[in-house]
A and B are shown apart, each in its own frame.
Chain A
Amino acid sequence: MHELGVTENIVNIALAKAGEAQASKVIKINLVIGEMSGFVPDCIQFYFDSLSKDTIAQGAVLHFESVPAQLRCRNCATIFQPQDTLWSCPKCRGQSIEISKGRELYIESMEVE
């Protein structure tokens, strides 16, 4: 639902970085997206194809690395992955939980020529 603005940012960052590197073409953009971030890769790709048209990023491949959600129990510090929607620690059954991984949303690297 909110991928258009995010994709605009991706195109802007990619073009700026490619410019700094004096590249003539962006081949691939490696993105890291946390499972809990709520952004849909297919949707980003769809907008990217249209927003990058007539730029040096046109035709670039978007590669998405998905980071699985990782939770941490505040009571016993156990790190675990959510098994269902009810978050509870597999070790102490505690329900005081924080998200340690899975909210990422960044461009990791790019391939240019």
Chain B
Amino acid sequence: MKKIEVIQNILDANETIASRNQQLLDKHKVFAINIMSAPGAGKTSLILQTLARLKGRLNVAVIEGDVASTVDAEKVQSEAKAVVQINTRNMPESCSLMAAMIESALKDMPLDNIDLVLIENVGNLICPAEFNLGEHKRVVISSLPEGDDKPIKYPLIFVDADAVIINKMDFLPHVDFDIATFRRSIAGLNPKAEVFQASCKTSEGIERWCSWVLEQVETNATKR
């Protein structure tokens, strides 16, 4: 019997593809944002709002990740430059998008005509935290009906986020969500994260969010 030292990260395979994705995106000057949240927090609604606001300013494509169906792709179809729906039901991971799925989705996109790709991950606060897709920024949406304790229950996804959106602000009078508590948890876990208070229903905060997106895309473009 012989012992072999290995010391190899098990997620290396995903990381390798993720960095390949980012190289491809950079080559075509495409900025990518990975949008993550629990099911029903408002990922698709935020994408729809973003598409509407950025129309005429940026060419935006969308990658939709869901366990099944093309419901979301159909919703964003008319507003996006390109849409690819990924169904994870028959894939090794159904709970999250992975870099290889993005790699194949990017093959179906006219990358030279796109400035920004919004990637809607599978609704889940656990698994997507583990898989880098090759995105430039990671965004987590937490909505008021979910409660203000999500950052302390699912810290990993918040620890790596570049921005956190508190969505469904219009629910504030109806739920016991303490904005200060939530913000304090985020500031503790991840002081660098930008925090937005928004409502896709009333459009509160959407302008500020879209300005942030534009700023990220522009900053990234000047760096290249």
- What is A's interface to B at a CB cutoff of 8 Å? 1-2, 4-6, 8-10, 12-13, 17-18, 21, 23, 27, 31, 36-38, 74, 85-88, 94-99, 103, 105-113
Q: Which of A2, A31, A97, A109 contacts B5 (CB 8 A)?
A: A109
Q: Which of B6, B95, B124 contacts A13 (CB 8 A)?
A: B6
Q: Which residues of B contact A18 (CB under 8 A)?
A: 4
Q: Which of B3, B6, B12, B13 has the most CB of A within 10 A?
A: B6
Chain B interface size, as a band, is 35 or more
- What is B's interface to A at a CB cutoff of 8 Å? 1-14, 92-96, 98, 124, 126-127, 129-131, 149, 152-153, 155-156, 159, 184-185, 187-189, 191
Q: Which residues of B contact A98 (CB under 8 A)?
A: 159, 189
Query: Which residue of chain A has the shortest Cβ distance to B11 in the bound complex?
Result: A105
Query: Which residue of chain B has the shortest Cβ distance to A3 in the bound complex?
Result: B93
Query: Which residue of chain A has the shortest Cβ distance to B1 in the bound complex?
Result: A113
Q: What is the bound-complex CA distance between A87 and B4, given in angstroms?
A: 38
Q: Which residues of B contact A74 (CB under 8 A)?
A: 191
Q: Which residues of B contact A5 (CB under 8 A)?
A: 14, 92-93, 98
Tell me if A13 and B188 are in contact (CB < 8 A). no
A26 to chain B, nearest CB (A): 10
Q: Which residues of A contact B149 (CB under 8 A)?
A: 85
